[in-house]
Amino acid sequence: MAGQNDKPPEQTAAWRRLAGHRRQADGLRLRDEFARDPGRAQRFSLGLERVFVDFSKNLITDETLSLLLDLADQRGLGKKIGELFSGHEVNPTERRPALHTLLRAPDGIHDTHGLSYVARQARQERDRMFGFVRKLRAGEVEGATGRPISRVVNIGIGGSDLGPRLLVEALSEFHREGIDIDFVANIDPFDIERALARSDPETTLFIAASKSFTTSETLINARRARDWLRDNGCKDPGRHFLAVSGNAAAVEDFGIDQERFFRIEDWTGGRYSIWSCIGMSAAISIGEDHFRQFLAGAHALDSHFASAGFSANIPVVLGLISIWHNNFFDIGAHAVIPYDQRLERLPAYLGQLVMESNGKSVGADGGKVGVQTSQVLWGGAGSPAQHAVFQFLHQGTRASSIDFLLPLDSNHDGKQHELLVANCLAQGEALMQGSTDAGEPYRRFDGNRPSTTILYDRLDPYTLGMLLALYEHKTFVEAAIWGINPFDQWGVELGKTLAGRIAAELAGDEAPGSHDSSTEQLMGRYRSGRA
């Protein structure tokens, strides 16, 4: 419908029809829907290569999906997807495109979109990264004393930490023996001191990962590592550093040679940067071939997202269902529960992706958003999560939608894995059906708690690439419907500014400023505690 994309989402005809449909859906009971409709599960499932998504346990009917697809059309989702892949300025507040999909594209794939020069630069930097990876894994990268590097410590925070850390842990079965990989993110000195205590100054390489190379946490930890090298007799600390950044001058000022500088472009947001040289530590861990498979898996999902019709498009369908739960059922939380210990860090990674991208109250046009935006994303690995948080999921007064992730093949003990599978499937069924125990009331719960189950053949680099890209594009779909910019994060800047001011005051470098009484009290108690 012409002009609907120019309106706030809640003023579109499709949104109003969804609101009316929601009032009619008060009596929707999932267990009844399954009982009367034997084809529900098959009809509400989609598959792509190694991934199968069953979304039949969500609070939807055929009419719901039809209305949601109308909403996608009225919000111009197809046009926005095209703009994402063709290099348009989809990040208007920073006046730049978002080209993370280009980073995982095969050679030549973007040459028809007017992006051939940018794509060529990205490939060159990727090839430089792989060249360094090959040398280090072959024992040809040496420290200042001539001993080969055998330990890598990634110093970063946010996207410069969460993505590489997730990959290294999730793909540990593909790790190169003889090379230790460690991570430091927290400005709390215990983090860097823990990593240094495990390190040999002659054989350790530090990766300073910061797009701006001004991130205070990263620079403070990197300087501590440099001082530690010098304190341990290292005459050339630069031989033990590598930088991934977009700020060549700051990297050089730090003392890192240009040959050890790997560029990340300004069109790569931090939470979308694992596909770039930010993934250096993960590439060292799993090797070039496996990292290329990781990129290829993401590209397969990109191709699906860019070309599949909306009703068969996995990120589109999941994004629209999320809108339905969040904006029409007031379900403000979403749990990600991987029944795969290797994906224990996935909820933390997705927490940044989703909440930093879509935790916005201002639209891309600068106006106030009139609807709820990002859900709170949380979670943990199953089955430990069953013994920690599932009481809330089953009987809590505030509902949370849920994603279950489950590998069909774990490459380990079949009987034990079968029990894991049984636990995962049982939780989805129980959350949907509930319990109608006629005895004690505390044994009863309503069910009707929505969940999606994502099955994958096995966890390997290709499949992990598909899964991460799926969640990226689902997040983009939500942002497109709400009319917000998922590629900036201005909300974090105020805290950074105030932290710098308070730090200077606590150190005595600046005269005490004017703060609220609570902050003044807490600063005073800190000073008293140090006295």
- What are the catalytic residues? 356, 387, 496
In single-letter form, the type of residue at position 71 comes to L
Find out whether 523 and 502 touch, Cβ atoms under 8 Å: yes
User: How far is Cα 420 from Cα 526, in angstroms, rounded to an integer?
Assistant: 48
Q: What angle do CA 17, 20, 24 make, to 5 degrees?
A: 130
Q: Which residues pair with residue 416 across a beta bridge?
A: none
User: How far is Cα 200 from Cα 202, in angstroms, rounded to an integer?
Assistant: 5
Q: Which residues pair with residue 382 across a beta bridge?
A: none
For residue 415, what are the CA distances in angstroms to 71, 412, 418, 419? 45, 9, 5, 6
**Helices 493-506, 517-530: inter-axial angle, 10-degree rounding:** 40
Find out whether 428 and 404 touch, Cβ atoms under 8 Å: yes
Measure CA of the first residue to CA of the last residue in the chain; give whole Å: 68
User: How many of the other CB atoms lie within 10 Å of CB of 73?
Assistant: 16
User: How far is Cα 352 from Cα 359, in angstroms, rounded to an integer?
Assistant: 10
Q: What angle do CA 55, 319, 400 make, to 5 degrees?
A: 65
Find out whether 329 and 69 touch, Cβ atoms under 8 Å: no
Residues contacting 397, CB < 8 A, separation 6+: none
User: How far is Cα 423 from Cα 418, in angstroms, rounded to an integer?
Assistant: 9
Query: How does strand 376-379 pair with strand 333-338?
Result: parallel
